[in-house]
Structure 1
Amino acid sequence: MSTKYLKRFFKPRSIAVFGASERVDSLGGLVLRNLLESGFKGPLMAVNTKGYEQVYGVTAYSSLSALPEMPDLAIICTPPDTVADLVRRLGTHMVRAAMILTGGLSMNNPMTHSSLREEVKEAARSYGIRILGPDCMGMLVPGSHMNASFAHTNIRKGRVAYVGQSGLIGTAMIDWANGQEIGFSHFLTLGDGIDVDLPSIIDYLASDPATHAILLQMDRVIGPARNFISALRAASRNKLVLVLKSGIIADGRMQPQLAEGIGHEDLVYDAALRRAGVVRVDTSDQLFNALETLTRMKPMRGERLAVLCNGMGPNALANDRLQAKQGQLAELTEATLEALAPLLPKHWNRRNPVDLNVDATPERYAQAISILSKDPNVDAILSIHAPTCMAPGVDTAEAVVKVARSTPRNLLSCWMGRESAIAARNRCNSAGISTFLTPEEAIDAFMHMVDYHRNQNAMRQTPAPYQISNAPNREKARDLIRGVRDSGRDYLLHTEACDLLDLYEIPTSNTHYAEDIDGVVSIASQLGGSVAVKALHLGNMYPFYYEKAGHLRKFDMALDLFSMQEVRHSTTKLAYRVSERYPPEALLGFAVQQMKRGFQSLQINLGITRDPVFGPLVFFGVGGYVVDALADRNLMLPPLNSALALKLVKGSRVYRIITENSYRPEQDVKNLCDLLINLGQMAVELPELKALEINPLLLNKRGLLAVDVSVSLGEAVELSVSPYPERLTEYIRLKKSGRPAVLRAIRGEDEPAHLEFYNQLSPESIRLRYFYSRGIPTHQELANWTQIDYDREMALIVTAPKLNGQGYETLGVVRAVTDADNIRAEFSIVIRDDLQGEGLGVMLMEKIIAYCRDRGTLMICGSTLPSNKGMQALAKRLGFINSYNAEEDVVDMRLMLHEPTEDWQILRLHH
């Protein structure tokens, strides 16, 4: 949904409340009263069929057609069976936004036998009217003087937006925030979300200048996961986003579905939210504390924390929590220690946390904070106070508030206790200083900010160059999967699974196959040495089968067999055990390998699984026994690049084992990252791949080796993160010079070349591209330009080998950003000055036009300065209609790619 249409909800010029009366139990009456008390500036209208003349002083009308004007926003509080018809009538009167507070729309219409909810959805779509709700609490927007909700009280104006799925958690948040004197830019809950969904709201808030941070309370993802992840990724690049994810109570109708091999859906949500660059909080307390921190903290300069208190006990609690959360305690400079010394007892340990002693006065607190705030090694300060008769809380709070106003550092405060600490907390709340009940709460809140910045750094880390170019093998892999599917199987045979790994350059152990015991003995005699035998059956063709069956993998294997007598005896026992569990038609013979003992091998468990909500996931962790694998199964949404793969490895116990034991840890980690990137590519290129498990993968001084693998297949599914569009790659030659080049989509690895490209542009080219003169882009800007979300944006570049043979260079770039409804794509283009006349502009524009046309975009448009005659001529040559926009002093260029087929599309094109 295009965010510009959400303005009718958040900034309506007029509002009509349907179903408003002065009855005590009237939902519409409560909403109308809240609108009046919040000081809404525009016209208010009440609609009620009972014939009231006024409702709380607002003129009432008996029907929609009786209204003197059609409202920007209709708020519906009428009975469930009237809602769908009312939405139709609103649509015929050209009302474009409706908020439904009515609940109970899940029941069926006795006349049509369809749910009332679906009838409302269809009515809204037919007339192009946007719906928020049903069954939502409404919305509060202090900047618009609007409390269009049934909340029991209004909210203060602030910089944090709150979006929830639970109305009751929302009202509790309002009550708590008012008690803490904290405000919001927007506050709303979505209810059933049949039209205006969470991604749309996130997109709107991400572009709202009054919103500095976003808090989300959610229990599930409604709609495509890709839209949700895409919106979160875009928002978190510019604003802090925190999510409180709760579960759904199973009631027999809604049992949670889990990804194979994953014990709890929380692990999946953690991975998805981490991939989107947001911070997850686990409890409502943490959400409240996060709101406290978000509202009052200044932008972070780093994560080194100084702690001070009038006693070591609370300092120890804070330090323990900081270490448990992997935070960083600031190391104080010698100058700071010397400055603090006169304030503290001689027995002071000259370390952080700082013990001000039990007799600390308000003045000593203020002086210590002032000294710490000047230390270049300190990024933030936590001031803890425990009540004593020598350290009055309120007086100390006054001193802390005074010094906090003069320091650029973030200051958090903790006033321990209750009766004597309330006044001190209230003083800090009024002064806008974050305050907490316990040292642990303060550390948790601080670490939310730290986690956000760590996530952002990881998201913007420039990936190392990595090229996957093995097209023939990838086509063979597709043929392999297609052939198995055509045969009616939903699993790969062991030999096929090994072949699949080979096609993706994942080394596999040399495996031999036998149909019977004699065949196993014959193979073992030829191999020599110690061998391993695995009984193959229909069960262990599927990944994670041993977790489901509740028995150990060893029941299907015999290891360390030296003599032929051992081989025959053990294989016979294997055959007997398997025949007890499976019928003859499910027995698939035996696999024989030489044992891979020695070389200090580390066993790793990794592969691909599939979640019902988020689709394919790459997992990685320690291998071996089932309990070990489950305890260390880390997840990441594919596709992966080198930075994401490294983050996945570092999140596992495997990384610590490698760094402590390997004689070449960097090479081992790189090899694992390359393998994980290949697994991610498999998930991208083989959408029918349901699950793939390598267990174990051996890591030793000889490298990596997949010992065992199983693969299952299913219906093709979509990834939550749009993969790199390899299909757009095209090999070209420049028009005049004939120089060979590649036209392709941009990648994160292109950041260094993109900076070099930018530095080669003339000041005039930069002015024509950005409409103003600007300096060298920062790493953050370059990361935003190169690490794009291919689902909502496309940047195509022309790249070629440098003339000196040292690497590649970028020659030109065209970019198109498409709105959420795929109505308009806005383009921009820039070519290096020394390459004008090589035909790059035409090639890039034709490519981006074709791309937008193929994805069904209705119109591609752009703007340029009136002085940019070259761009105007190029656009006209390609079929664009150019027109001067006097209001913004630009030339607008528009090209229709498809004709609209529905009324709502026509309306969007004309607004």
Structure 2
Amino acid sequence: MSTQYLKRFFKPQSVALFGVTPEPDSMGRVVLKNLVEGGYSHPIYRVGEHPEHFDGVKSVASLDDLEQMPDLAVLCSDADKIPAQIEELGKRKVKAALVLGTRLSQTKYADRFAFNRALRDAAHPYGIRILGPEGMGLLVPAMKLNASYAHQNIRKGNVAYVGQSGILGTAMIDWANGQGIGFSNFLTLGGGIDVDLASVIDYLATDPYTSSLLIQVDSITNAPHFISALRAAARNKLVLVLKSNLSLLAYADRKKLLPPGVDTFDEVYDSILTSCGAVRVDSSDELFDALETLTTIKPLYGERLALISNGMGPSAMAVERLVDKGGVKLAQLQPETVAALAELTGNETTSQNPVDLNADASPEVYQKAVEILSKAKGVDALLVLHAPTQMAPSAATAEAVIKAAKRTRRNVLTSWMGRQSAIEARNLFNDAKIPTYITPEKAADAFMHMVKHRRNQTMLKETPTPVSLQLEEAKLSKAKQMVEQAMENGRDYLRHEEVTDVLELYGFECASSFYADSVEEAIKIARKLETPIAIKTLHKDNCYPFCYDDENAQRWRDLALDLTNPAELEHHVGELSRRIDERFGEQEYRGFTIQRMKRGFQSLQVCTGITRDPVFGPMVFFGIGGYSHDVRADRQLMMPPLNKSLAKAMIRRSRFYPILKQNSSNFEQHLDSLCQVLVRLSEMVIDLPHLRTLEIHPLLVNRNGLLVVDASIGLGQPVKTAITPYPEQLESRIQLRSGREVLVRPIRGEDEPRHLEFFQRLSPESIRLRYFYSRGEPNHDELANWTQIDYDREMAFIATAPRLDGKPGNETLGVVRTTTDADNVSAEFAVVLLDELQGEGLGKLLMQKMIDYCREQGTLEIMGTTMTSNLGMQKLAKKLGFENSYNAEEEAIEMKMMLNEPTEEWQRTRLAH
């Protein structure tokens, strides 16, 4: 949806309330009171049947009696009246309606779905946007706006809270006020029938007064929009997400909502949020603690943590939690630091990390210890723990720690254990904006929030290693043909031999398999092979991926392994045949596959492949192979497209990674090969959209390399990936005036090193004309933002060609990029070329390609700004059809071109402004 009218929710210049009744505890009356007492300074209107004054605001009978139409309408009426009120507001060009909690009992609506449908039907013809229903409301301290039924107002801060549960929102307000924590914006979406979570995230991601986002999610509908918005927000702000697990659903219902082969929602959402750069919290209790961390956090430059306590018990509790949560390594203290601490404590053995100050540690000793560690090399953050004793009073010790903590740039977290004697100390920390937690475990969790955010950001911005696994056109065509032929024949799976063919087309090495339709034929083939032999029966159940049942037994009862002589062979093949006859009819029986056993060479087993989530679409999975319960316990998931860096991060999260590191004869080579496997699987998802599921199990890893022993593929209706993959179809070759052939293509993360070289070759004048000032060399984070783009939101085309100096590889010659607003109304462009390419016609070719692209995307206008001295850019813009005008305020030239005509009124309004 458009984010344009979200300004009418967050920054309304007038508000009208519907459904305000005389009862002091009615919802409408509570909302009116909150608006007035909150200090909202713009006009407030009441529309309804009760003309008397309430809270100093007089009512009017109808909208026609108002002096002006409101920016925002807040509806607290009975459910039966609300759709008609929405329609009346729409007719009068009101564009924003906040529908608060509604009771449907004793109304004409059969259920919530019928009511929501009535709201949509009323709003759609007029373009009025609805926030709700069933939400708690909206609070914006900067506007002194409290359009909610919350029992308290909120303080002003820099954290935005967006939730889907109204009741949890009121609890969050109560807790935050108790802790002295404020918000930049606070709202709950309720049903979210129109204004959705993704649109609000988009809006808040650009809010200069919001530094962090705290998001509570019950369900997600438009996965691509949500993921795109979350990725964009997490690149610039700290984002924490509380996702419920739908535990109220019956087991059978939960299974229907899970991707095939995945047992819990945790696996799905952990991977989704990690991929987007957000940090997940697991409970409302952790959400409250996370909010405290958000409001006091400093930038975390490393993970090396030092602990201080007045006894080893609290430290042990914290360290155990840190290990469970993510394997944080404690800081290794330098000899000079240990010596200083030993002089302080009188005991060198307790001066190692964690540092034990002993039960009699005075406030002065605590203060000195914090000062020593906050200056120590190799220490990035401190966790100070305290248990009350007669010798170490809680409040006095807290005051001493606060003095030391205020003198350091490093993060200092605290946990003052106890209740009665610790309350005053925790209040002191809250007033000093130093994060404090009731237990050591909670403090460890808070530190891990910071660590996970740092790790996610590092992973997202890591420069991908170039890897060329693009399938040849002939092989791709053959793979597509096999899939399409199977579906035309009415099959939603590929036969075993077809699966092997497809995998080999994508570069997988597969074990040699032989096929037989009868017992006699299977025995005949097996006798010709070198022993030991493995035979598997093929039937309707095991031709699909994830063919193990809840007892983890089904996978093995259709296999006969390690057959070494004719007698064993005949006996086991006969047994397999009898089992199949008992379980399936002849139509479900599909013969045998025979392989020579692949053992030895210190083989390790992997289970990997593709699954499909009902909401988020295709996902690649990876984990340990072998017994089914091990496989199910190690499902690491990630959304395609994958590059080598993301694949490596996925493998590192698995239980298989330490096993590989400990047992591999060539660890780096094996890790690289497994990364290529995951990238190939990602390519298969994009190339073969009918591919619903794929399971490779086992994939053997040994000194000979990687070998697929068994695999299966399930087919279904085509589904797009939630993240737009690299748009290969936009690549084109052009010829410059000099005759040099150039490839113009979308930028990729792998281009970062060449993009830095490109920037370094620009003249100071070219840099000044591009950026409007003389700037230094970009750092890694800037380059990552320039090259690792979201193709749904922005586009950058680069011109690249083989180097002329004879060195291997290509060089970047020029780049044009656009950033499009969330409504797809306006795209802002920028273009820059190497100085020696001026006059080759490259600038015009790049600009024309971008214009054509934006027009095809439905963008209404493309615009740019250049300096008055940049006559070359102004001339090029005129040639391409831009209208140039002078902006006196900015002292710059604005260039605009209409690409598509607006079709809706709000689009015309946007363009007019």
What SS is found at the alignment partner of 1:398?
helix
Post-superposition offset of 1:167: 0.9
1:697 Cα deviation (Å)?
Answer: 0.9
Report what 2:276 is aligned to: 276
Once the two structures are overlaid, the 10-residue window that deviates more, 277-286 or 344-353, is 344-353
Name 1:692's counterpart in structure 2: 694
Aligned counterparts of 2:20 and 2:575: Cα–Cα separation in 1:
79
Distance, in Å, in 2 between the alignment partners of 1:380 and 1:107 is 58
Q: Give the match for residue 742 of structure 1.
A: 743
Q: Is 2:781 the counterpart of 1:788? A: no
Judged with a 3 Å threshold, the aligned counterparts in structure 2 of structure 1 residues 410 and 814 are, in CA distance, closer, same or farther, namely same
Is 1:9–2:9 an aligned residue pair? yes
TM-score (norm 2): 0.96
2:429 matches 1:428: yes
1:258 equivalent in alignment to 2:258: yes
How far 1:530 moved relative to its partner? 2.6
Q: How far does the alpha carbon of each residue in 1:428-468 deviate from its partner, in whole angstroms, 9 at most, with x for none?
A: 11121111111111111111101100111011111111123
Deviation at 1:298, TM superposition (A): 1.6
Deviation at 1:845, TM superposition (A): 1.6
Specify the code of the residue in structure 2 equivalent to 1:765.
S
Deviations 1:230-275 (A, max 9, x none): 1111111111100111123546799331110001121111110110
Q: Which residue of 2 aligns with 1:397?
A: 398
Structure 1 counterpart SS, 2:414: strand
SS at match of 1:580: helix
Q: 1:9 to 1:110 in 2, by over 3 A?
A: closer
1:660-711: CA deviation from partner (whole Å, max 9, x where unpaired): 1111100011011001100011111111111001111111111111111111
Structural mapping, 1:83-482, within 5 Å: 83-104=82-103, 115-221=114-220, 223-250=221-248, 255-256=253-254, 257-325=257-325, 326-346=327-347, 348-469=349-470, 470-482=472-484
Equivalent residue letter for 1:610: R
Range with greater deviation from structure 2 (570-579 or 701-710): 570-579
After superposition, give the CA deviation of every residue in 1:617-662 in whole Å (9 maximum; x if it has no partner).
1111111111111111211111110001101111122211111111
1:485 Cα shift?
1.4
The amino acid across from 1:262 in the alignment is V
**SS across alignment from 1:349:** helix
> 1:843 and 1:173 mapped to 2: Cα distance?
54
Instruction: Name the residue aligned to 1:631.
Output: 633
Structure 1 residue 548 displacement after superposition: 6.3
1:105 and 1:847, CA in 2 relative to 1: closer, same or farther beyond 3 A?
A: farther
> Does the residue aligned with 1:638 lie in a helix, a strand or coil?
coil
The answer to whether the 8 A contact 2:620-2:637 is kept is yes
1:46–1:55 Cα contact (<8 Å) kept: no
1:581, distance to aligned residue in structure 2 (A) = 1.1
Indicate the SS of the match to 2:548. Answer: helix
1:884 partner SS = strand
Please show how residues 611-690 of structure 1 align to structure 2 within 5 Å.
611-690=613-692
Shift of 1:107: 10
Within 2, Cα distance between the matches of 1:599 and 1:356? 52
Inter-CA distance 452–768: structure 2 relative to 1 (3 Å threshold): same
TM-score (normalised: structure 1): 0.96
Report SS of the residue matched to 2:896.
strand
Alignment partners' CA distance in 1, 2:866 and 2:120? 40
Q: Choose 847-856 or 185-194, whichever is displaced more.
A: 847-856
Q: CA deviation at 1:322?
A: 2.5
Counterpart of 2:714? 712
Cα gap change, 1:253/1:645 in structure 2, threshold over 3 Å: closer, same or farther?
closer
Give the 3-state SS of the residue equivalent to 1:103 in structure 2.
coil
Q: CA deviation at 1:118?
A: 1.8
Cα 1:858–1:386 shift into 2, 3 Å: same
* Segment of structure 1 superposing worse, 393-402 or 418-427: 393-402
1:549-628 to 2 correspondences below 5 Å: 551-628=553-630
Q: 1:466 to 1:569 in 2, by over 3 A?
A: same
Q: Which letter does structure 1 place at the counterpart of 2:51?
A: G
Tell me, in whole angstroms, the C-alpha distance in 2 between the residues paired with 1:679 and 1:146: 50
Range that drifts further, 42-51 or 453-462: 42-51
1:32 aligns with 2:32: yes
Task: Judge conservation of contact 1:78–1:102 (CA < 8 Å) in 2.
Answer: no
Opposite residue 115 of structure 2, the aligned amino acid is L
SS where residue 388 of structure 1 aligns? coil
- Name stretches of at least 5 consecutive residues in structure 1 with no aligned partner: none
Query: CA offset at residue 549 of structure 1?
Result: 8.6
Post-superposition shift, 1:822?
2.5
Whole-angstrom distance in 1 between the partners of 2:429 and 2:751 = 47
Q: For 1:475 and 1:148, how far apart are their aligned partners in 2?
A: 58
1: CA distance, partners of 2:789 / 2:63: 46
Say if 1:662 and 1:358 are closer, same or farther in 2 by CA, change over 3 A.
same
Q: Provide, for residues 859-881 of structure 1, a one-character-per-residue CA deviation record: whole Å limited to 9, x for no partner.
A: 22222223322222222222223
Task: Output one character per residue of 1:130-173: Cα deviation in whole Å (capped at 9) or x when no partner.
Answer: 22111111111111111111100011111111111111111111
Aligned residue for 1:571, secondary structure, equals helix
State how many pairs are aligned.
908
Contact 2:131 2:189 in 1 (8 A): yes
Distance 2:912 2:56 in 1: 37
The 8 Å contact of residues 322 and 329 in structure 1, kept in 2 or not, is answered as: no
- What letter is aligned with 1:265? F
Q: Which amino acid aligns with 2:642?
A: L
Residues 111, 387 of structure 1: alpha-carbon distance in 2 compared, 3 angstrom cutoff: closer
Residues 826 and 107 of structure 1: is their aligned pair in 2 closer, same or farther, counting only changes over 3 Å? Answer: farther
State whether residues 293 and 434 of structure 1, in contact with CA within 8 Å, keep that contact through their aligned partners in structure 2: yes
The Cα of 1:106 is off from its aligned counterpart by 11
Letter in 2 for 1:459: L
Task: Describe the shift of the 1:3–1:666 C-alpha distance in structure 2 as closer, same or farther (beyond 3 A).
Answer: same
RMSD of aligned C-alpha atoms?
Answer: 2.1
**Contact 1:127–1:903, Cα closer than 8 Å, also in 2:** no
Asked if 2 retains the 8 angstrom alpha-carbon contact of 1:220 and 1:247, the reply is no
Residue-by-residue CA offset, 1:284-325 (whole Å, 9 max, x unaligned): 111111111111122222221111122222222222223333
Q: Does 1:513 align with 2:515?
A: yes
Change (3 A) 1:142 1:533: same
Which deviates more from structure 2 when the two are superposed, residues 778-787 or residues 202-211? 202-211
- The amino acid that maps onto 2:307 is V
Assess if the C-alpha contact under 8 Å between 2:547 and 2:554 holds in 1.
no
Comparing 702-711 and 537-546, the one that deviates more: 537-546
Shift of 1:784: 0.7
**What residue number does 2:72 align with?**
73
Q: Deviations over 1:742-801 (max 9, x none)?
A: 111111100000111111112222222222221111100111111111111111111111
The C-alpha deviation readout for 1:590-631, integer Å capped at 9, x for no partner, is 111122122121111110001101111111111111111111
Q: Residue 275 of structure 1 aligns to which amino acid in structure 2?
A: S
Residue in 2 that maps onto 1:541: 543
CA–CA separation in structure 1 for the residues paired with 2:645 and 2:208 = 31
Q: 1:477 to 1:56 in 2, by over 3 A?
A: same
Q: Equivalent residue of 2:734, what SS?
A: strand
| 1:323-359 per-position Cα deviation (integer Å, ceiling 9, x unaligned) | 3331221122222223323321246433011122222
| Residues in 2 aligned to 1:703 and 1:285: alpha-carbon distance in whole angstroms | 47
Taking the aligned partners of 2:272 and 2:309, their CA distance within structure 1 comes to: 38
| Residues 686/842 of structure 1: CA separation in 2 closer, same or farther (3 Å cut) | same
Q: Is the 8 A contact 2:80 2:107 kept in 1?
A: no
Give the AA of the match of 2:216. Answer: Q
Report the Cα distance in structure 2 between the residues aligned to 1:372 and 1:400, rounded to whole angstroms. 12
Pair 1:105–1:269, CA change in 2 (3 A): farther
Give the 3 Å change call, closer, same or farther, for CA 682–591 of structure 1 in structure 2. same
Unaligned runs of 5+ in 2: none
Q: 1:441 to 1:251 in 2, by over 3 A?
A: closer
Partner in structure 2 of residue 863 of structure 1: 865
CA distance in 2, matches of 1:755, 1:109: 64
**Equivalent-residue separation in structure 1 for 2:438 and 2:88 (angstroms):** 53
